[in-house]
Amino acid sequence: MKKFFQEIKADIKFKSAGPGQKLTESVGERAPKEKPNQPALRQPRQGPTDEAQMAAAAALARLEQKQPRARGPTSQESIRNQVRKELRAEATVSGSTEAPGTNTVPEAKEEGSAHLAVPGVRFTCPLTGATLRKDQRDAHIKEAILSHFSTDPVAASIMKIHTFNRDRDRVKLGVDTIAKYLDNICLHPEEEKYRKIKLQNRVFQERINCLEGTHEFFEAIGFQKALLPVPDQDGPEEFYVLTEAALAQPQSLQRHKEQLLVAEPVRATLARQRRVFRPSPMASQFDLPVDFFNLTAEEIKREQRLRSEAVERLSVLRTKAMREREEQRETRKYTYTLLRVRLPDGCLLQGTFYARERVAALYAFVREALQSDWLPFDLLASGGQRLSEEESLAFNECGLVPSALLTFSWDTAVLEDIRAAGAEPDSSILKPELLVAIERLS
Specify whether 142 is located in the same domain as 258.
yes
Specify whether 359 is located in the same domain as 265.
no
Section 290-295 average pLDDT = 75
Residue 302: count other Cβ atoms within 10 Å of its Cβ.
15
6 pLDDT higher than 50: yes
- Within 202-361, strands assigned E span 223-228, 237-242, 269-270, 275-277, 288-289, 336-342, 348-354
414 pLDDT higher than 90: no
143 pLDDT higher than 90: yes
- Give per-residue pLDDT as tens, 85-119: 655 655 555 444 433 333 334 445 555 555 678 88
Specify whether 367 is located in the same domain as 236.
no
Predicted pLDDT of residue 27: 47
Residue with the bigger pLDDT between 360 and 101: it is 360
Specify whether 255 is located in the same domain as 371.
no
Sign of CA dihedral 281, 284, 285, 287: positive
- Give per-residue pLDDT as tens, 221-254: 999 999 999 888 888 999 999 999 999 999 999 9
Specify whether 373 is located in the same domain as 251.
no
The DSSP bridge partners found for residue 226 are 239
Predicted pLDDT of residue 373: 85
Q: At what angle do helices 2-15 and 50-66 cross, to 10 degrees?
A: 150
Sign of CA dihedral 351, 355, 356, 359: positive
Sign of CA dihedral 352, 354, 356, 360: negative
Compute the distance between CA of residue 395 and CA of residue 387 in angstroms, rounded to an integer.
10
Compute the distance between CA of residue 407 and CA of residue 164 in angstroms, rounded to an integer.
42
Residue 404 included in any domain: yes
Section 10-20 average pLDDT = 62
Predicted pLDDT of residue 97: 40
Closest to 212 measured CA to CA, from 167, 253, 266, 263: 167
164 pLDDT higher than 80: yes
Closest to 199 measured CA to CA, from 185, 213, 210: 210
Helix (H, G, I), strand (E, B) or coil at 442: coil
- Whether residue 104 contacts residue 98, with contact meaning beta carbons closer than 8 Å, is answered with yes
Please state which of the ranges 40-44, 160-164, 201-205, 380-384 shows the lowest mean pLDDT: 40-44
DSSP secondary structure letter of residue 25: S
Q: Of 248, 269, 290, which residue sits at a domain end?
A: 269
Specify whether 231 is located in the same domain as 128.
yes
Print the domain residue range for 436.
331-440
Residue 72 included in any domain: no
Residue 117 included in any domain: no
Section 74-92 average pLDDT = 57
Residue 116 included in any domain: no
Specify whether 254 is located in the same domain as 385.
no
Specify whether 339 is located in the same domain as 260.
no
201 pLDDT higher than 90: yes
- Burial degree of 296 (CB within 10 A; 0-12, 13-18, 19+): exposed
- Give per-residue pLDDT as tens, 261-270: 999 999 999 9
- Give per-residue pLDDT as tens, 20-45: 555 555 544 554 444 445 544 555 55
H helical segments located in 370-428: 412-420
Section 152-156 average pLDDT = 97
Q: What is the CATH number of the domain that holds 256?
A: 1.20.58.2190
- Burial degree of 48 (CB within 10 A; 0-12, 13-18, 19+): middle
Residue 288 included in any domain: no
- Whether residue 283 contacts residue 441, with contact meaning beta carbons closer than 8 Å, is answered with yes
Q: What is the CATH number of the domain that holds 379?
A: 3.10.20.90
Residue 12: count other Cβ atoms within 10 Å of its Cβ.
15
- Whether residue 379 contacts residue 407, with contact meaning beta carbons closer than 8 Å, is answered with yes
Specify whether 145 is located in the same domain as 260.
yes
298 pLDDT higher than 60: yes
388 — alpha (psi -120 to 50), left (phi > 0) or beta? beta
Predicted pLDDT of residue 176: 97
Predicted pLDDT of residue 179: 97
Return the percentage of the chain with pLDDT > 90, whole number.
48
HEC assignment per residue over 62-100: HHHHHCCCCCCCCCHHHHHHHHHHHHHHHHHCCCCCCCC
Predicted pLDDT of residue 396: 87
Total number of domains in the chain: 2
Compute the distance between CA of residue 386 and CA of residue 359 in angstroms, rounded to an integer.
11
pLDDT band at 346, cuts 50/70/90? very high
Predicted pLDDT of residue 10: 66
Q: How many residues does the chain have?
A: 442
Compute the distance between CA of residue 313 and CA of residue 318 in angstroms, rounded to an integer.
8
Residue with the bigger pLDDT between 406 and 52: it is 406
Residue with the bigger pLDDT between 424 and 361: it is 361
Q: Of 221, 246, 269, which residue sits at a domain end?
A: 269
Specify whether 241 is located in the same domain as 376.
no
Specify whether 257 is located in the same domain as 356.
no
Residue 304 included in any domain: no
Helix (H, G, I), strand (E, B) or coil at 238: strand
Please state which of the ranges 71-80, 124-133, 307-316, 351-360 shows the lowest mean pLDDT: 71-80
Q: Dihedral through CA 274, CA 279, CA 282, CA 286, nearest 10?
A: 10
Specify whether 233 is located in the same domain as 350.
no
Residue 148 included in any domain: yes
pLDDT band at 292, cuts 50/70/90? confident
Residue with the bigger pLDDT between 112 and 204: it is 204
Residue with the bigger pLDDT between 15 and 83: it is 15
Closest to 425 measured CA to CA, from 341, 345, 362: 345
213 — alpha (psi -120 to 50), left (phi > 0) or beta? left
pLDDT band at 420, cuts 50/70/90? confident
Q: Of 253, 269, 285, which residue sits at a domain end?
A: 269
Q: What is the mean pLDDT of the chain?
A: 79
Checking 301-304 for CB contacts under 8 A at 24+ apart, the result is 302/333, 303/333
Residue 89 included in any domain: no
Predicted pLDDT of residue 328: 57
pLDDT band at 316, cuts 50/70/90? low
